[in-house]
């Protein structure tokens, strides 16, 4: 094993001596400088303690938490009047938490779900399970088709008359469908909280937080390791009147528990929070902020989509151009060929042999998926593109 790590303790491909290019959809790759610094903090972080050995109530960890939150707020320009909470249970637990905390007491109001892929579909299903079908309205759904990256026109969306909240997923990780600034914000009345799952594109560029009631994101794509979920909530949504009136909310699923205790009601996930803090510093200092990050992300994904679109149909991205994700680029290998399945397998195996790993699409949709999270470099995307061209010319 020792041979598989370089001097910075960074995993390398034993065949090529290069760091493996990790296209995983999550947990995703992290900046090398962050991994190296975290490696050193393991054994010694503060006064002879390793980072993971610190008491969460001690001064050293308190400082980590405060700085992590401050940097996050600065990066996203979070306005006053919003709380930042550090929770556990992944983004999936937020599907339950949102429903229980925000459905409100008015039995006529519905929770509106915009379903544009696997994750928003799951969120809607969980809300229905907890609240009953009568409280949930699916505004629009593209769930049925395997590779349907086409978001129906707004005039086909069926909002409820009385809305408790509107939920959507900004970047559907499985299907490679992203709204970004194309989300029709004007279609949501200003008094209806807009709830967004940003697990797979948070911090990929600037956003206007003031358009949202609540944003949540699991850490393990653009922020840090799995284990912490970051929630941004507008403070008026912490009011008891927003909560489910028909069943009690477990204490650790109540947003108020976190907001009144600075996420320290019980032991928070100290290590993932620390890692997020390092990533936020990397974004601020090495990248230069979210405008710069956004430009890099556009350069990476445009290069790859251009290569796909310029391949004369050998590579095909099934997602409508308007909604193509900058984070998860999904494509098929020569889908019209009678041996498309074998070709795809060969593509994945050969890419892996060259150190480009985790390129297989989600098991529910197949195909190829290259996840280009923040820590993915343009140089590494160019290596993938060069391989794609060489593969096409050869087979």
Q: Report the nearest approach of ligand PMP to the CB of residue 353 (Å).
A: 26
Active site annotation includes 157: no
Does 197 interact with ligand PMP (rule: CB under 6 A)?
yes
Nearer to ligand PMP among residue 97 and residue 200 (C-beta): 200
d(CA 66, CA 84): 11
Contact stretch for ligand PMP (CB under 6 A) within 11-19, 27-35, 90-98, 125-133: 90-98
Select from 64, 91, 136, 287 the one that contacts ligand PMP (CB under 6 A).
91
Sign, CA torsion 359/360/363/366: positive
**Chosen residue from 28, 176, 218, 268 binding ligand PMP by CB under 6 A:** 218
By CB under 6 A, which span of 86-94, 147-155, 159-167, 315-323 interacts with ligand PMP? 86-94
Query: Closest distance between ligand PMP and the C-beta of residue 123, in Å?
Result: 8
Of 328 and 380, which CB lies nearer to ligand PMP in the complex structure? 328
The verdict on 119 binding ligand PMP (CB under 6 A) reads yes
Choose between 45 and 167: whose C-beta lies nearer to ligand PMP: 167
Question: What is the rounded CA–CA span in Å between residue 287 and residue 33?
Answer: 12
| Using rule CB under 6 A, residue 225 touches ligand PMP | no
What's the 3-state SS for the chain?
A: CHHHECCCCCEECCCCCCECEECCCCCCCCCHHHHHHHHHHHHCCECCECHHHCCCCCHHHHHHHHHHHHHHHHHHCCCCCEEEEEECCHHHHHHHHHHHHHCCCCCCCEEEEEECCHHHHHHHHHHHHHHCHHHEEEEEECCCCCCCECCCCHHHCCCCCCEEEEEEECEECCCCEECHHHCCHHHCCCCCCEEEECCCCCCCCCCCHHHCCEEEEECCCCCCCCCCEEEEEEHHHHCHHHCCCCCCCCHHHCHHHHHCCCCCCCCCCHHHHHHHHHHHHHHHHHHCCHHHHHHHHHHHHHHHHHHHHCCCCCEECCECHHHECCCEEEEEECCCCCCHHHHHHHHHHHHHHCCEECCECCCCCCCEEEECCCCCCHHHHHHHHHHHHHHHHHC
Q: Determine whether 197 is an active site residue.
A: yes
Would you say 149 or 355 has its CB closer to ligand PMP?
Answer: 149
Q: Do 76 and 207 meet the contact criterion of CB atoms below 8 Å apart?
A: yes
User: CB-wise, 27 or 335, nearer to ligand PMP?
Assistant: 27
Annotation marks residue 282 as catalytic: no
Q: How far is the CB of 312 from ligand PMP (least distance, A)?
A: 32
Which segment (129-137, 197-205, 297-305, 351-359) binds ligand PMP by CB under 6 A?
197-205
Nearest distance from residue 95's CB to ligand PMP, in Å?
8
Work out which of 68, 199, 204, 334 binds ligand PMP, going by CB under 6 A: 199
Which residue of the chain is nearest ligand PMP when measured via CB? Answer: 90
User: Which among 2-10, 195-203, 260-268, 365-373 is the span making contact with ligand PMP, rule CB under 6 A?
Assistant: 195-203
Residue 367 engages ligand PMP in binding (rule: CB under 6 A): no
Q: Which of 110, 170, 221, 354 is catalytic?
A: 221
Contacts 24+ apart (CB under 8 A), 341-346: 343/395, 344/368, 346/395
The verdict on 169 binding ligand PMP (CB under 6 A) reads: yes
Q: Binding of ligand PMP at residue 26 (CB under 6 A)?
A: yes
**Where do we find the tokens 């709830």?**
195
Binding segment (CB under 6 A) for ligand PMP, from list 184-192, 196-204, 315-323, 370-378: 196-204
**Contacts with ligand PMP, 129-168, as mask; x by CB under 6 A:** ----------------------------------------
Residue number, 69 or 126, with CB nearest to ligand PMP: 126
Q: Is 92 in the site for ligand PMP (CB under 6 A)?
A: yes
Which candidate, 114, 120, 149, 144, places its Cα nearest to that of 323?
149
User: What is the distance, to the nearest Å, from the Cα of residue 368 to the centroid of all Cα atoms in its chain?
Assistant: 18
Q: Point out the residues that are catalytic.
A: 119, 197, 221
Which residues contact ligand PMP (rule: CB under 6 A)? 26, 90-92, 119, 169, 173, 197, 199-200, 218
């Amino acid at each position: 094993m020792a041979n598989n790590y370089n001097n910075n303790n960074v995993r390398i491909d034993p065949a090529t001596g290069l760091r493996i290019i990790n296209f995983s959809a999550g947990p995703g790759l992290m900046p090398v400088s962050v991994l190296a610094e975290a490696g050193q903090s393991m054994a010694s972080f503060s006064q002879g303690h390793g980072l993971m050995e610190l008491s969460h109530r001690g001064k050293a960890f308190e400082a980590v938490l405060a700085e992590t939150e401050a940097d996050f707020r600065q990066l996203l320009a979070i306005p006053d009047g919003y709380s930042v909470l550090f929770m556990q249970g992944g983004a999936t637990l937020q599907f339950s938490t949102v429903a229980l905390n925000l459905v409100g007491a008015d039995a006529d109001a519905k929770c509106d779900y915009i379903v544009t892929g696997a994750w928003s579909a799951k969120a809607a299903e969980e809300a229905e399970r907890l609240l009953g079908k009568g409280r949930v309205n699916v505004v629009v759904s593209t769930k049925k088709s395997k590779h349907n990256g086409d978001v129906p026109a707004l005039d086909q969306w069926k909002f409820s008359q009385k809305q408790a909240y509107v939920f959507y997923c900004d970047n559907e990780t499985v299907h490679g469908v992203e709204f970004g600034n194309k989300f029709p914000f004007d279609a949501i009345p200003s008094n209806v909280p807009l709830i967004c799952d940003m697990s797979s594109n948070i911090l990929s560029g600037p956003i206007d937080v003031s358009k949202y009631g609540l944003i949540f994101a699991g850490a393990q794509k653009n922020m840090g390791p799995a284990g912490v979920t970051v929630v941004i909530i507008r403070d008026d949504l912490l009011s008891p009147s927003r909560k489910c009136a028909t069943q009690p909310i477990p204490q650790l699923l109540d947003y108020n528990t976190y907001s009144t205790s600075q996420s320290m009601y019980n032991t928070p996930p100290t290590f993932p929070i620390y890692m997020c803090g390092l990533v936020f510093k990397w974004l601020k200092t090495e990248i230069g902020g979210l405008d710069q990050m956004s430009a890099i992300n556009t350069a990476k994904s445009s290069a790859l989509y251009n290569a796909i679109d310029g391949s004369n149909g050998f590579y095909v991205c099934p997602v409508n151009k308007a909604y193509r994700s900058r984070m998860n680029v999904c494509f098929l290998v020569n889908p019209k060929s009678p041996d498309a399945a074998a070709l795809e397998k060969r593509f994945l195996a050969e890419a892996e042999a060259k150190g480009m790993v985790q390129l297989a699409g989600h098991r529910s949709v197949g195909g190829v998926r290259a996840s280009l999270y923040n820590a993915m470099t343009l140089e590494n995307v160019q290596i993938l593109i060069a391989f794609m061209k060489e593969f096409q010319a050869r087979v």
